[in-house]
Amino acid sequence: MLKNYLLSPGPTAVPERVLLAMAQPVIHHRTPQFSAVFADCAKRLKKLWQTKEDVIILSSSGTGAMEAAVANSFSKGEKVLVINSGKFGERWGQISESFGLEVVWMKLGWGQAADPSAIKAELDKDPDIKGVFMQATESSTTVKHPIKEVAQITRGRDLLFVVDGITGVGVFEIPMDDWGIDILVSGAQKAFMLPPGLAFIALSEKAWKKADEAKNSKFYLNLKKEKKNLANNTSAYTPAVTLINGLKEALDMFEEEGLDNVYKRTALHAKAVRAGCDALGLKNVTDSPSEAMTGVYLPEGVDGNKLVKTLRDNFGVTYAGGQDEWKGKIIRIAQLGYIGAFDVIIAISALEMALSKFGADIKLGTGVAAAEEVLKEGFGI
């Protein structure tokens, strides 16, 4: 028997109680019973966003919320600044260009976090820029961007600050209203501990005003239509009923643990994974790592594609490999969502054995011992 462990940074593992909630009989989405669930979820999502604004639930992948942010808030020909430090920063630009926006690319090296002063200089130089797009976590490179510092630069200007929090909301604090983020999006399959298929988006008062003026095509991803329906505790189109039942259970889990404790647990597990990797001599890919996941370079001579395949198919442990220029060179290990202390131990021990199998000079137990030294704090040892 091979027991499987999903330790990739998305999709992430789904708790048993969430799966059971999703196994309830499907009810019609235009009923008082489902409207009560839908309204409850929408209300409680505001706590995660730390906003007074509506958080709209979309039945789509996280990319659907990214597209909705562009389609609803900008008009063809407007100029936007896109921070591109990986695959998902690149996606912001691709979506913007597909809607006819003029993209000013700020291309960073992979593994490099954004420099707020460089963003300020770009905005000071070009007052025609109407939007700044970036990630909370660029999950292709595991980088955490300085969202708070950038928000301090963008607030008060005649532009919108748009943040992809798909690998951020529920991982670490991103107080939308307090920091001055204008649009914040997220997705189900990360910290929310759900299968893929739901996306979430909230707009500031300034962003809603701009949405009233925006001229771009949208039908399914029409946020003004969704906002109007949300006032009646429903969605504009057929929602993913089963996933929303699971969302309610996942939000229960957040509240039972307490958001501060969720953030502390995730940060502790990130520290433990990094300690284990450091002990094995594996260098982190960035100086600005996110609590959501850890990326490390593999030893010379180890084929990352084969390593990830062996871990998944023969060891039963699923990580994510590298993309584009990092393909075959790195692995990425999740710490977000339904991850416990002993998942961290499994992650490091499996990595040790797989590296040993591929000929790396690894002393088994070294990484595990280092991770345990960190994790014991969570048990009061």
What confidence category does residue 195 fall into, taking pLDDT thresholds of 50, 70 and 90?
Answer: very high
* pLDDT reported for residue 274: 98
* pLDDT reported for residue 179: 98
* pLDDT reported for residue 305: 95
* pLDDT reported for residue 217: 87
Q: Cα(336)–Cα(16) distance, rounded to whole angstroms?
A: 17
User: 350: Cβ–Cβ under 8 A, 6 or more apart, which residues?
Assistant: 5, 311, 315, 317
Which domains, ranges and CATH numbers included, belong to the chain? 16-256 (3.40.640.10), 258-379 (3.90.1150.10)
State mean pLDDT over 227-232.
Answer: 97
To the question of pTM greater than 0.75 for the whole model, the response is: yes
> Which of 206, 200, 197, 198 shows the shortest CA–CA distance to 223?
200
Digit-coded pLDDT (tens) for 208-223: 999 999 988 899 999 9
* pLDDT reported for residue 50: 98
**Six-digit token string for 188:** 């189900």
Digit-coded pLDDT (tens) for 142-193: 999 999 999 999 999 999 999 999 999 999 999 999 999 999 999 999 999 9
- E strand intervals along the chain: 5-6, 55-58, 79-84, 102-107, 129-135, 137-138, 143-144, 160-164, 183-187, 199-203, 293-297, 317-318, 320-321, 330-334
293-297 and 199-203 beta bridge pairing:
unpaired
User: 271: Cβ–Cβ under 8 A, 6 or more apart, which residues?
Assistant: 374
- Name the percent of the chain lying above pLDDT 70: 100
